[in-house]
Structure 1
């Protein structure tokens, strides 16, 4: 299986369980890997046969702008479902890092893998 990835995409969203977090936007860093057959796009050198990174990033941005979750786990699960449905992605891995959660860690978060089968 071929893989397409987006690494280190930063989005601002409302995320957190504490009252003070509910009134601010915080940065999440996303690392995504998608199972995707690149051969049709490569054969004809056509964007419409590829997984369009810009279109994926635009959906992620819209999702993050509208999201209001307490848990990073919920953000990850719902975003994965949205991307798989929107683009027909058969498999993906999503890592969501919330920087600044702990003073001795660069970030904390979750990593999930989902498939359509």
Structure 2
């Protein structure tokens, strides 16, 4: 399956459950693997035949920064919903969100979620 890969997208935002976390801006690191058919773009060599990587990054950052989520799980869901809504050609998305240097003994902590467009139809009742 074809995929667009974005690694290490840094999003500075308010994130966390503790009072001290709600007072500061912290980085989140996002990795996205977006499955979509890239055959037309590969043949045409035209930007309009693929997904706009810069726009994907911008949408992902904006929804997280606007929401200022407590949990990175919620941040992931916001990104998934925004990208599936914006791009009907997306078949599935795997998102990893890491919160670096939040636990002294770990480089980062994080989550990974994978969702398929068909799964979303079932869960939303469409």
TM-score interval w.r.t. the shorter chain? over 0.9
Q: Matches of 2:87 and 2:25 in 1, distance apart? A: 27
> Over aligned residue pairs, what C-alpha RMSD do you find?
0.9
2:76 aligned residue:
76
After the TM superposition, which segments of 4 or more aligned residues of structure 1 sit over 6 Å from their partners? none
Q: Matches of 1:48 and 1:103 in 2, distance apart? A: 44
| C-alpha contact (below 8 Å) 1:9/1:30 kept by paired residues | yes
2:26 aligned residue:
26
Provide, for residues 11-55 of structure 1, a one-character-per-residue CA deviation record: whole Å limited to 9, x for no partner. Answer: 011110000111211100001001011110111111011011011
> SS at the partner of 1:28?
strand
> SS at the partner of 1:19?
coil
Q: Matches of 2:13 and 2:83 in 1, distance apart? A: 17
> SS at the partner of 1:42?
helix
| C-alpha contact (below 8 Å) 2:63/2:78 kept by paired residues | no
2:97 aligned residue:
96
TM-score under structure 1 length normalisation:
0.95
| C-alpha contact (below 8 Å) 1:13/1:67 kept by paired residues | no
| C-alpha contact (below 8 Å) 1:16/1:71 kept by paired residues | yes
1:8 aligned residue:
8
Unaligned runs of 5+ in 1: none
| C-alpha contact (below 8 Å) 2:95/2:114 kept by paired residues | yes
Structure with the largest fraction of strand: 1
> SS at the partner of 2:14?
strand
Unaligned runs of 5+ in 2: 119-126
